[in-house]
Amino acid sequence: MDLQTSIKICFKKFAEFNGRASRSEFWWFTLFYLIVVIVAAIFDSFFVDNSQNMGPVEIVSTLILLIPSIAVTARRLHDVDKSGWWMLIAFTIIGLIPLIVWYVSIGSNKKNRFGPPIKLKRS
């Protein structure tokens, strides 16, 4: 999967928290999210004289990408047979460690309680 395909899938499944997401779908969308927020922050730094808070472009871009980001994260956790609610352990800071391990783990090759395995096309 490439960046463009990942973005299309994540916006197509904008608020779909069911199913599974591959590692590449998750990481490409995460990269896209980071690039958009960084570009928005740079844009705001040129036009808004507020260095301590988020500028308007950064706020809008973050809000637009928030739900798809949460949805793809839940689907990624489903791929490793974890509930999407596990993403809440990130608030404990130490909980970031198991989350990152799960994000980089290979998903189960068998059907799990969240659906059938993901079939990716090789190019």
Q: Using pLDDT thresholds of 50, 70 and 90, give the confidence band for residue 103.
A: very high
Residue 17: name the closest of 109, 86, 120, 64 by CA: 86
The model's pTM: 0.86
Q: Check if the beta carbon of residue 46 is closer than 8 Å to that of residue 73.
A: no
Q: pLDDT for 25-75, tens place per residue?
A: 999 999 999 999 999 988 888 877 766 778 888 999 999 999 999 999 999
Task: Give pLDDT, residue 112.
Answer: 87
Please tell me the number of Cα atoms within 13 Å of 95 on its side-chain side: 9
Q: Check if the beta carbon of residue 10 is closer than 8 Å to that of residue 25.
A: yes
Q: How far apart are CA 43 and CA 40, in angstroms?
A: 5
Task: Give pLDDT, residue 72.
Answer: 94
Residue 14 reports pLDDT greater than 70: yes
Task: Give pLDDT, residue 73.
Answer: 95
Q: Which residues contact 39 (CB under 8 A, 6 or more apart)?
A: none
By mean pLDDT, which of 5-9, 10-14, 44-48 is the weakest?
Answer: 44-48
